[in-house]
Every structure is written in C-alpha cells, then in structure tokens.
Structure 1
Amino acid sequence: MTGADIVVQILADEGLDVLFGYSGGAILPVYDAVFRFNAEHPRDDGNEPLPLIVPANEQGACFMAAGYARASGRVGVALVTSGPGATNAVTPVRDSMADSIPLVVVCGQVPTGAIGTDAFQEAPVSQIMGACAKHVFLVTDASTLEATLRTAFHIARSGRPGPVVIDIPKDVQNAPLIFEGSRELPVRGYRSRLHAVESATLTDAACAAFFATLGASERPLIYAGGGIVSAGASGPLRDFAHAFGIPVVTTLMGIGGFDTTDPLALHMLGMHGAAYANYAMDDCDFVFALGARFDDRVVGVPDQFAPRARAIAQVDIDPAEIGKVKAVDWHHVGSLDQALDRLLAYGARIGFRRDLSAWHAHVAGLKRHHAMNFSRDSDSIQPCAVIEAINRITNGRAIISTGVGQHQMWAAQYFDFREPRHWLTSGSMGTMGFGLPAAIGAQFARPDLTVIDIDGDASIRMNIGELETVTTYGLPVKVVVLNNSGDGMVRQWQKLFFKGRFSASDKSLHKKDFIKAAQADGFEWAQRLDDPRAIDATIADFLAFDGPAFLEVVIDPDAGVYPMVGPGATYAQMITGDWIPSRDTPVEATGQPTGMF
C-alpha cells in the first residue's frame, strides 16, 4: 500500500463515518486514496463509506471536525494541504486544545527533501502547531507512518482530550509500504503518565477525608466544568448530587453536564452567569470542583472567589490543573466518572447523611429573587425572547451551536440543556465564526437531532461561506442570526468601561442583506423577523421547515448581556442590569479593564 492508502485505511479502521477537508497539491495523494477507497468499498445504501465534506476553507473544515467531535464524543478528522492550508487550521487547533476537544488534523507537506527550502506552499507546521496542539508529528520516516497515525488517535482521545496534528510530506504519502494492521509508537512517557492517571483509585482514607470535610459543611456546592462532558461523567455527577443533595453550578463548557432543569441545578456561573449561581458561590462554605480549571471568566479575583468557603476539593484528570489558580484542601487526579462512582459507593457504605434543608431553602430563594429576566414589553425584539421561543418549541432537546459574543451568552443563559453534547461553543478561545461550521459537523454526527446555529451578524461573517456547504450537502441545519448591526459585546464593554467611545465597533453594518446571501447559497427558507408579535409563529415555521433554514432577527441594538461581572470585579460587585434584582448595590468598574473580554 502507499502511504496515502495507509492513511485512509486507518481512518476507516478508526470507525470514522465522515471526513472534512480542502484539497491542495501536497495532500492530493491522500485525497486520491479516499476516492479509490470509496469506489472499492461500496455500501448497500449507496452512500460512500468515507464521505469527504468540502467546506469553503480549511478553518471551516477543522471547525466542522471539531463540531463533530463535540457532538459525538468521538475524534473528528480534517485533511488539509500544506502552507496556507495548514496555517488556516491553526485557529481551530488552538480552539480545540483550549476546550479539550479530540481532533486529528492530517496536513500535507512538501517533499522531505524540500523541507526548509521555502518551497512552494511550505510552512513550518511542527513549529507553528507545537504551541497550539496536544501533540504534533512530522513523519519523515515513511516506515513509521502507520504507527504514527494510530498513536495520534490514541493521544487525541485519551486522558485530557485534545488536537493532534500529523504533518506528512508528499513523498511519504507516495511511498510503497507494508500495512501491518496494528502498530503504534511506544510514546512510553505519555503512556506511563496516562496509566498512572487512569488507574488512580481513591483509597478509603481519601474517601473518609472527603466526607469528613463534606460533613463539616452546611452549604456545599458542586462546581462542574467541561471535564464532566469530556469524561462522560454526567450520569455519575447526577447520581452523586442527588444522593447527597448538593446543588450544582456549571461553567460555560460544563453546560449540559448537569440537567439545567434539575431542581439542584443553578445553571452557569461566572462573568455572565446567573446572578443566583454567583451568589450561591459567594455564600457556600465548601466547593467541590469537578473537571473545572478555575479560569478567569469564573474566578475573576482569585483570592475573593468563594470567599466563605472553608474548604475546596478538586478532581481532575490533568494534574496541572490541581491548585493552579486556587489552593485546594483535598484533591484527586484521575477519571471523573470513576472518582464520583467511588465516592458515591463509599458514602452509601458509611450511610453518609447531611441535613441541607436550610441551604436548599437559601438556594431556592436566590433562584426566586434573582431569576434571569429582560425587558418583556419592549417595542424592539429582545434577543432573550427569541432564545426562549426556540427553547419552548424544541423543549430544550436541540443541539445548539453558537458564534462568540452577546448571542453566545444569551443562548447559554436562556436555553435548557438536559443532556451533554447539546451545547457547542468556543469557550476558552472565544473564536468568532465557530458556530456555523461547528453546526455542520454536529449535524453529521447527530443526524437524528435538530441542530441550530445561534449566531451574531458579526460572528457569522467570519465563516459565512459555509452557508453554501449546508445546502450543498442538503443538511437540515437551522441558522439564526441575531442582528444588532455590529460587535455587540465589544460595544457593551466600551459603553461600560470606556465611557461610550465606540472605537471601530459602532460600524452600523447594514449593507449585508443576509436574506439575499442565504438565498444565493441555496436556502429555500430564508426570512427576516423584525416584529416582536411574530416571534412565536415565525420561529415555529422556521424550525418546522424540512431542510436548511435561515432566519435573520433584527434585535434591539442596545440589548445587553446581564448579569455581568466586570474585569477586576468580584461577584459581590456584579452588574445585574435593569431587570434582574441585585441583593447589593452593584459597583461598576472604573478606569481601564484589567483583562481582555
């Protein structure tokens, strides 16, 4: 087999049912091998065994692969060419690394002998991607290709998941090789560390120490992050929380890891978290962090985060996260699902019980008095009303993908997420343009579910070329653009922290006719909504359409995202806006922000 044939055979052996990529000279041998593989392995239903989905550009391809991975939990794969093809993949690779998403990106490279000569479409992929990916392989010895590919998948999905990049020179793709069918690289250091983490168990003494701390608390709170979703630990989390009656807050990436409609759910905390979630964190006396990294969007001012907590416990599969931001009093490095199952079993064995009725009543009061809300009698369309309508009609059962900005936060705040992997968003990187290609990838992963891209007018512009990808492949993706004519989140920051100096954000972008653009790309259902009275009927029609549908919603340009914890502020200084009661007088930040938005 040629090296290219081996690449494709391993992709098939990994059980992949879709690939994403954009062609180019240095990756053509692999593309030809995909074509031949599909021709030689016809399926009874007439579909190709390894369909290759072609986007508008390589960033779109990699975000589609990431959306597939986020929605399915499996490794997503993108095939890109050398030079600009590979550099277009940098942002999705870094995005996947930041959010712990299993991705394999196969890059074509100039022939081995030309590397370092500034050959046509050459780029130093290993150096560029080395700072962005979980691991990067440059295959210069063709005999290691098969083992390298299998190892890449192992690294991408194991431990803390992440993206792996394989840079394959064109001569290696064309090299005649023997396919062995099982080889992997030793990577002894990685395997040793992985074995130590995956085999780690909680001793009786560690369990006893945990329950001694929990037993001494009166107001415990679970702080769950994206690790719950990555580890498939939502079931163990639900069982643990219910068994001991502990309320749960989640990070942006942890949304869906705990049913947001559960009585113990306090939804999202942090910069734009629910006021009641943030107040609960302020009031709790014990924090149990699960797969959460205490990032700046949640913690804000580290030494004032959870100020009344007498103890913090942390479980994470990555030892680097333990105590990185906040010192912890008890920790375990290992698999979240196994750790929760072990603690649950130990607690049941010792008959652990704790009367938390006073804490439950306090939390219920927070949820009641500081509920999410917005202007409900405005003459302009309020974006939160649109999200509520979508949620009501879908019963919170759709996959929601977003771009980045105000629309992202409104979707996170006002949609119900009953299951993991129904919420797809660029968390740590905050990459505008993520929503549409990620939704495409998610629709391939979950053809049985409704997939909705809730986007912003500025964010969707970043990868608007992928509208044509939706219709080319006949995907029933639903695209909602909340149009406030510019960069709404940037404007909100400039209004609050820069005295209303709307530098380069008050663009008044009215020239783009999104409806005509969608129609030009083949959307048969493409409408604009600008009447608040027509929200329910229009959205019902939009969601019921059998095929791709595009809805532009002209929203109130002055609508803001609240609550908001400003840069350098604490939860006690949270700005709750005009419609959510604050229990204290909010203190707005003054002067220059201390961090990026």
Structure 2
Amino acid sequence: MSGAEVIVQVLADEGVGVMFGYSGGAILPVYDAVFRYNAEHPRADGGEAMPLVVPANEQGAGFMAAGYARASGKVGVAIVTSGPGATNMVTPVRDSMADSVPLVVICGQVGTAAIGSDAFQEAPISNIMGACAKHVFLVTDAAQLEATVRTAFTLARSGRPGPVVVDVPKDVQNTALSFRGAGELALSGYRTRLRAVEQATLSDADCATFFHALMQARRPLIYAGGGVIAAEASAALRAFVDAFGLPVTTTLMGLGGFDSTDPLALHLLGMHGTAYANYAVEDCDFVLALGARFDDRVAGVPHKFAPRAKFIAQIDIDPSEIGKVKPVGWHHIGPLQRALERLAAWGRAHGFKPQLAEWHAHVAELKRAHAMNYDRESALIQPYAVLEAINRRTRGRAIISTGVGQHQMWAAQYFDFRAPRHWLTSGSMGTMGFGLPAAIGAQFAYRDKLVIDIDGDASIRMNIGELETVTTYGLPLKIVVLNNVGDGMVRQWQKLYFKGRFAASDKSLHKKDFVRAAQADGFEWARRLDRVDELETTIADFLAFDGPAFLEVMIDPDAGVYPMVGPGASYAQMITGDFIASRAAPAAHEATTPHMF
C-alpha cells in the first residue's frame, strides 16, 4: 500500500464513519485514497463506506468533527492540507483540547526534504499545534506511519480525551509500505501512567473515609462537570443519587450528565448559573466534585466558592486537576463510572442512607423562590420566550448546539437536558462560530435526530459559509439566529462595567439579510420572526418542517443574561436582574480583571 492508503485503511479499521476536511496539494494522495476506498467498498444502501464531508473552510471541518465527537462519543476525524489548511485547524484543536473532546486530525505537509525551507504552503504544524493538542506527531519515517495513526486514536480516546494531530509529509503519503494490520507505538511512559490510572480502585478504607464525611453532612451537594459525560458515567451518577439523595448541579460542560428535570437537579451553576444552584452552593456543607475542574466560570474567586463546605471530595481521571484550584479533603484518580459504582455498592452494603429531608425541602424552596424568569409582558420578543417555546416541543430530547455569547447562556439556562451528549457548546475556549458546524457534525452522527443550532447574529457570521454545507448534504438541521444586532454579551459587560461605552460591540455590520442569505444557500424554509403574537405558530412550523430550516428572530436588543456573577464577586453577590428574586441587592462594580467573559 501507499502511505496514503495505509492512513485510510487504519481509519476504516478504527470504525470511522464519516470524515470532514478540505483538499489541497499536500493532502491529495490521502483524498485520492479515500475516493478509491469508497469506490471499492460500496455500502449495501449505495452510500459511501467512509464519506468525506467537504465544508466551506477547514475551521468548519474541525468543528464538524468536534460536533460529531461530542454528540456520538466517538473520535472525530478531520483531514486537511498543509500550511493555511492546517493553521485553520488550530482553533478547533485548541477548543477540543480545552473541552476534552477526542479528535484525530490528519494534516498534509510538504515533502520531508523541503521541511524548514519555507516551501509553498509550509507551516511548522508540530510547533504550532504542540501547545494546543494532546499530542502531535510529525511522521518523517514512513515505516512508522501505520503505528502512528493507530496510536493517535488510542491517545485521543484514552484517559482524559483530547485532540491528536498527525502531520504527514507528501512523500510519506506516496511511499510504498507493507500494511501490518496491527501494532502501535510504544509510548511506554504514557501507557504506564494510563494503566495506573485506569486500574485504580477504591479500597474499603477509601470508601469508609468518604462515607464518614458524608454522613456528618447535613447539606451535601454534587458538582458534576463534563467528565461525567466523557466517562459515560451518567447512569452511575443517576444510581448514586437514587441511593443517597444528593442534589446535583452541573457545569456548562456537564449539562445532560444528570436529567435537569429531576427534582434533585439544580441545573447550571456558575457565572450565569441559576440563582438557586448558586445559592445551594453557598449553603452546602459537603461538595462531591465529579469530573469538574473548579474553573474560573464556576469558582472565579476560589476561597469564596462553597464557603460553608466543611469537606470537599473530588474524583477525576486527570491527576493534575486534583486540588489544582481548591484544596480537597478526599480524592480519587481513576475512571469515574467505576468509582461511583464502587462507592454506591459499598454505601448500600453498609447501610448508609443520609437523612436529607430538610436539605431537600430547602433545595425545593430555592428552586421555587429563585426560579428563572423574565419580562413576560414585554411588547418585544424576549429570547427566553423563544427558547421556552422550542423546549416545550422538544422536551429535552433535541440535540442543541450553540455559538458563543448571550444566546449560548440563554440556551444553557432555558433548555432541559435529559440525557448526555444533547448539549454541544464551546465551553472553555468560548469560540464564536462553533454552533453551526458543530451542529452539522452532530447531524451526521445522528441523521434521524432533531438537531438545533441556537446562534447569534454575530456568532453565526464567523462560519456562515457552512449554511451551504447543510443544504448540499441534505441535512434536516434547524437553525435559530437570535438577532440583537450586535455583540450582546460584550455590550452587557460594557453597560455594567464600562459606563455604556460600546467600543466595537454596537455592530457596524448590520446590513446582512440573514433570511435571504439562507435562501441563497438553498434553504426552502427561511423566515424572520419579529412579532410576539406570531412566536408560537412560527416555532411550530419551523420545527415541523421536513428538511433544513432557518429562523431569524429579532429579539429585544436590551435583553440580558441573568443571573450574573461579576468579576471578583461571590455567589452571594450575584446580580439576578429585575425578574429573578435575589437574597441580596448586589451592586455592579468596575471590572478589575482583563479575563472578562
């Protein structure tokens, strides 16, 4: 086989169902090998064995692969050319690293003899990506190609998942090789560390220490992060809560890890979390952190986070996360699902049953007294009402993707998430333009599921070229653009902390007719909603349409995201706005940190 054929055969052996990428000179041998593989391996239904989806640009390809991975739990695959093709993948790779998403990115590279000579479309990808990815391989020895590509998949999906980049010079792609069909690189240090983590178990003494602390608590709380979803531990979490009755609040990345409609669910916590979740964190005396990293959106001021907690326990697959931000009294490094199952079994066997009736009543009262709310009498369309209308019809079962900004936070707050992998968003990186291509990737993972991109007028502009990808591939994707004619989240901060100086956020780009743009890209159903009295019927028609549909909603430009925990503030100082009850009346103060959003 040629090196290119070896790459494609390894992808097939790894069970890759779809790939995303954009062609170019340095990757042409691989693209040709994909074409020939599909011609030689037709599916029974006439489709391609490994379709290669071509988007408008490489960043779109990266986010499609990430959306596919986030929705399916499988490794996403992107294949791009050298130079600008590879550098356009930097943002999706870093985004996936920050949110622990498994990707394998195959990049073409100039010939090995030309590396370092500033050849046409050359970029030092191993250097550039090395700071952004879980690992980067530059394959200069063709004999190592097969083992390297196979190892990339192992690295991407094992331990704490992440993106792995394989940079393959064109001459390596053309080299004649013997295909072995097995074997990986040694990576002895990584495998030793991984084996130690994956084989770690909780001893009886570990379990006894944990339950001793838990049984002394009166207000225990579970703080669940994206690790619950990455570890496929949602069912184990559900069983643990059923056994011991701890309420659950989730991070932005953890939404769906626990059914948000459950009475013990507190939904989202943090900077724009629900008021009742944040107040519960203020009140709790025991925190069990599961696959969560106490990041600055949750614990912006670490010593003020869960100030009454006498005991913090943490379980994570990544040793570097233990005690990184908050000191913990008990921890376990290992697979989350197995740890929760072991704790639950040990606790049940020893008859532990915390008596939490008062705490449950307190949590229920917090949810009643500090419920999410907004101006329901406004003559302007409120974004919250749009999302509530969609949620009533989808009932927490749709796959929701978002861009980044106010619409992202509104979607996190007002949608129900009843199962994992139904919420796709750029959490740590906060990458505008993520929503549309990620939704496309998710729709390729689940052709028959309802996938909705909730986007903003500024965010969707970043990758608006992918509207054509939706119709080109006949995807039944639903796209909602909440249009407030500007960068709403930036403006909200400028109102609160910069005396209303809308520097660069009061959009000068406002000439685009999004509906006509969607129609130009082939959307048969494309409408603008600008009347409150047409909201319900329009949403119903939009969701019922059999095919791709695009809805632009002209929302109240002054609608804000509340609650909001400002920079340097604790949850007790949370700003809840005019329509959500607060336990205090915090005042906004001048921002003192450049790390704003």
Instruction: Check whether TM > 0.5.
Output: yes
What is the letter of the counterpart of residue 539 of structure 2? I
For 2:297, what is the secondary structure of its paired residue? helix
CA distance in 2, matches of 1:595, 1:97: 20
What is the letter of the counterpart of residue 571 of structure 1? Y
Determine the structure 2 residue equivalent to 1:420: 420
Cα offsets for 1:401-425 (capped at 9, x unmatched): 0000000000000000000000000
* Shift in Å, 1:446: 1.1
* Shift in Å, 1:508: 4.9
CA distance in 1, matches of 2:26, 2:508: 42
Determine the structure 2 residue equivalent to 1:235: 235
Determine the structure 2 residue equivalent to 1:457: 457
Aligned ranges for residues 274-353 of structure 1 at < 5 Å?
A: 274-353=274-353
* Shift in Å, 1:589: 2.2
What is the letter of the counterpart of residue 240 of structure 1? F
What is the letter of the counterpart of residue 98 of structure 2? A
* Shift in Å, 1:509: 3.6
Cα offsets for 1:116-145 (capped at 9, x unmatched): 000000000000000000000000000000
CA distance in 2, matches of 1:591, 1:213: 38
CA distance in 1, matches of 2:276, 2:189: 44
Matched, 1:100 2:100: yes
Cα offsets for 1:530-577 (capped at 9, x unmatched): 011111110110011111000000000000000000011110110000
* Shift in Å, 1:594: 5.4
Determine the structure 2 residue equivalent to 1:588: 588
Cα offsets for 1:478-513 (capped at 9, x unmatched): 000000001000000000010101001012543000
CA distance in 2, matches of 1:107, 1:330: 43
State the TM-score, normalized to the length of structure 2.
Answer: 0.99
What is the letter of the counterpart of residue 96 of structure 2? S
Cα offsets for 1:436-471 (capped at 9, x unmatched): 000000001011210000000000000000000000
Matched, 1:131 2:107: no
Determine the structure 2 residue equivalent to 1:23: 23
Matched, 1:566 2:566: yes
CA distance in 2, matches of 1:398, 1:375: 26
Determine the structure 2 residue equivalent to 1:181: 181
* Shift in Å, 1:395: 1.5
For 2:365, what is the secondary structure of its paired residue? helix
Cα offsets for 1:249-269 (capped at 9, x unmatched): 000000000000011100000
Determine the structure 1 residue equivalent to 2:555: 555
For 1:297, what is the secondary structure of its paired residue? coil
Are 2:567 and 2:591, in contact at CA under 8 Å, matched by a contact in 1? no
Cα offsets for 1:38-89 (capped at 9, x unmatched): 1111122100001110000000001000000000000000000000000000
Aligned ranges for residues 106-185 of structure 1 at < 5 Å?
A: 106-185=106-185
Determine the structure 1 residue equivalent to 2:483: 483
Cα offsets for 1:303-354 (capped at 9, x unmatched): 1110000010000000000000000000000000000000000001100012
Count of residues in Structure 1 that have an aligned counterpart in Structure 2: 597
* Shift in Å, 1:22: 0.1
What is the letter of the counterpart of residue 504 of structure 1? A
* Shift in Å, 1:217: 0.4
Greater CA drift, 499-508 or 73-82? 499-508
Are 1:567 and 1:594, in contact at CA under 8 Å, matched by a contact in 2? no
Determine the structure 2 residue equivalent to 1:245: 245
Determine the structure 2 residue equivalent to 1:437: 437
Determine the structure 1 residue equivalent to 2:360: 360
Structure 1 segments, 4+ long, off by >3 Å, are 591-594
Aligned ranges for residues 48-67 of structure 1 at < 5 Å?
A: 48-67=48-67
For 1:299, what is the secondary structure of its paired residue? coil
Determine the structure 2 residue equivalent to 1:399: 399
CA distance in 2, matches of 1:232, 1:353: 25
CA distance in 1, matches of 2:396, 2:147: 43
Cα offsets for 1:83-109 (capped at 9, x unmatched): 000000000000000000000000000
CA distance in 2, matches of 1:435, 1:507: 20
CA distance in 2, matches of 1:590, 1:291: 33
For 1:296, what is the secondary structure of its paired residue? coil
Cα offsets for 1:341-391 (capped at 9, x unmatched): 000000011000121111111111100000000110100000000000010
CA distance in 2, matches of 1:183, 1:308: 52
Greater CA drift, 338-347 or 530-539? 530-539
What is the letter of the counterpart of residue 184 of structure 1? E
Are 2:372 and 2:580, in contact at CA under 8 Å, matched by a contact in 1? yes
CA distance in 2, matches of 1:476, 1:288: 40
Determine the structure 1 residue equivalent to 2:371: 371
Are 1:569 and 1:589, in contact at CA under 8 Å, matched by a contact in 2? no
CA distance in 2, matches of 1:555, 1:421: 28
For 2:15, what is the secondary structure of its paired residue? coil
Matched, 1:575 2:570: no
For 2:572, what is the secondary structure of its paired residue? helix
CA distance in 2, matches of 1:194, 1:483: 46
For 1:345, what is the secondary structure of its paired residue? helix
Determine the structure 1 residue equivalent to 2:204: 204
CA distance in 1, matches of 2:320, 2:65: 27
Are 1:77 and 1:104, in contact at CA under 8 Å, matched by a contact in 2? yes
CA distance in 2, matches of 1:595, 1:405: 15
For 1:552, what is the secondary structure of its paired residue? strand
What is the letter of the counterpart of residue 288 of structure 1? L
Are 2:251 and 2:292, in contact at CA under 8 Å, matched by a contact in 1? yes
Determine the structure 1 residue equivalent to 2:496: 496
Are 1:568 and 1:594, in contact at CA under 8 Å, matched by a contact in 2? no
Are 1:370 and 1:580, in contact at CA under 8 Å, matched by a contact in 2? yes
* Shift in Å, 1:591: 4.7
State the TM-score, normalized to the length of structure 1.
Answer: 0.99
What is the letter of the counterpart of residue 567 of structure 1? P
Work out the percentage of aligned pairs sharing the same amino acid. Answer: 76
Are 1:251 and 1:269, in contact at CA under 8 Å, matched by a contact in 2? yes
Cα offsets for 1:575-597 (capped at 9, x unmatched): 00000010112232235345321
Extract unaligned runs of 5+ from structure 1.
none
Distance 1:132 1:27, change over 3 A: same
For 1:371, what is the secondary structure of its paired residue? coil
Determine the structure 1 residue equivalent to 2:520: 520
CA distance in 2, matches of 1:196, 1:392: 46
For 2:246, what is the secondary structure of its paired residue? coil
What is the letter of the counterpart of residue 118 of structure 1? D
CA distance in 1, matches of 2:182, 2:590: 61
For 2:309, what is the secondary structure of its paired residue? coil
What is the letter of the counterpart of residue 112 of structure 1? T
Are 1:224 and 1:250, in contact at CA under 8 Å, matched by a contact in 2? yes
What is the letter of the counterpart of residue 456 of structure 1? G
Matched, 1:85 2:85: yes
Q: CA RMSD in A?
A: 0.7
